[in-house]
Chains A and B, each alone.
Chain A
Amino acid sequence: MRTPVRNANKLSDGGAGPQPRPGVGLIVNPVAGLGGAVGLKGTDGAAAQQALALGARPKSQVRAARALELLSALKNRIDLVCAPGAMGADLATSLGFSCRTLGTAGAATTSRDTRDAAAAMAEAGVSMIMFAGGDGTARDVFDGAPGVGLLGVPTGVKMHSGVFGASPEAAGRVAALVLGSEPARVEWREAEIMDIDEEALRLGHVAARLYGYARSPLERTAMQNCKTPSRRDDDPALDALARRIVREMDPGILHVLGCGTTMRKIKRQLGGEGTLLGVDVALNGRLIATDVDEARLLRLTSGVPFKVITSVTGGQGFVFGRGNQQISAAVLQRAGRDNVMIVTSQSKLVMLDPPCLRVDTGDRQVDAMLAGYMRVHTAPGHTMMMRIAA
């Protein structure tokens, strides 16, 4: 539930005299999102090294830059406080921002560095911290600076929390609104800091766990909501749909199956358990590859016809770019729009606010290819015509 708090984050007390430049922190988790395309379910702890070893290419800086570029016009009007080196200062400087640096960072950055930098920024009195990362980064920033407004640039593997922009550009636009000439026009809300519930995952359910509430800008079309769980009473329709989909799979066609509990219903109809948080591939009625990464997907789909079946993140409406980065822009480009099938419950669709699906593949051309109206399958013989916003 969104609870707007108008002007709760005023950047000045409105008193007489020259307005101080609004102070904003910038923290980039440089390894965020590394695990996505290589099939890891996050990039926490040792996973970053593992991801690099698997060939992952860092994308966090690039995506953070897409957001920061939208603040160019405000370069001289904001007091930018950055975490050192790769955690923010390098990026800001490369884009022509002048900034102060707080905190420390070693060659290999850690979550401790993120928490320390956030705490130092809170101590310095910034009114908002803009961070680039996923749910793990959001938790670290929140832990370090619990009272400070947060705005996340989505660069991680999972973004279940409600503090992220719907895309890097959307986060940049919101930041520009907050830091621009009319900050009082921005409403704020208590947004959820979420992360995957490891306990539930061990029991076979994908569920996000609530870690706390952080103040975050309320901009309906630009900010994503937190992830919401599936409803059990949707199960009969989705079970029946899973049976229908498997029955109607064309022989000789590869089917790339996305993540989550809805997709697991299809995977189970194929006779296996599949990978709950991973991408699997089916051919001729059985799973032929499980927990595949982007590179393997590209090899498997090279020169052969294939379809991509995926679901929707509840509450957020993401189809691609959240938790399923293995199905990368390159894979989707190869598949083409007509070979993408979206499967989810009708209740999940009608609860979306705003009422549209989203894609954030990291490739604007692929996002544009996927944008527009598409049929989403909700039960056998039932579809909803949903708008996909890039």
Chain B
Amino acid sequence: MKTPIQFRLNGEDVAAFVEGGANLLDTLREIVGDLSVKGGCWQGTCGTCTVLIDGVPRLSCITLAETCSGSSIETAAGLRRGSELHPLQIAFMERFAAQCGYCTPGMLMAAKALLDKNPNPTRQDVIEAISGNICRCTGYEPIINAVLDAAREHARSRA
């Protein structure tokens, strides 16, 4: 028995039929085809699969797809506008804030949730915002610095 759900994904309307109990991570990757979302633990502990649901960072692996009907979901695939990169993406590149790249989509979304809400974060704000996201190779310092850089760049471009 499958259930129809509808939501907005990076600004576009999406519809899918999902199994009862299906999680949002598998729904996005296997049914909708958004492969920018990565699975790391499938048990809500590593933050790799972080997406924004109505602006709030959520772990898509432990979010029931059916509960997302009517929501607006953002993933890393929607960060850039055409060929124009989001300031976070530029800062991650320049600060060497990605090594294997696997935690990067989740990191970017956790950081975006922070900057959307708080454009001038302190270092401590950044640390708290990404505290649910595990990185095993880059190290957190370049990531923290990249997020702070992106915030500064964002502020400058708005001024």
Q: Verify that A and B bind, or say they do not.
A: no
Could you tell me which B residues sit within 8 Å of A by CB distance? none
A interface vs B, CB < 8 Å?
none
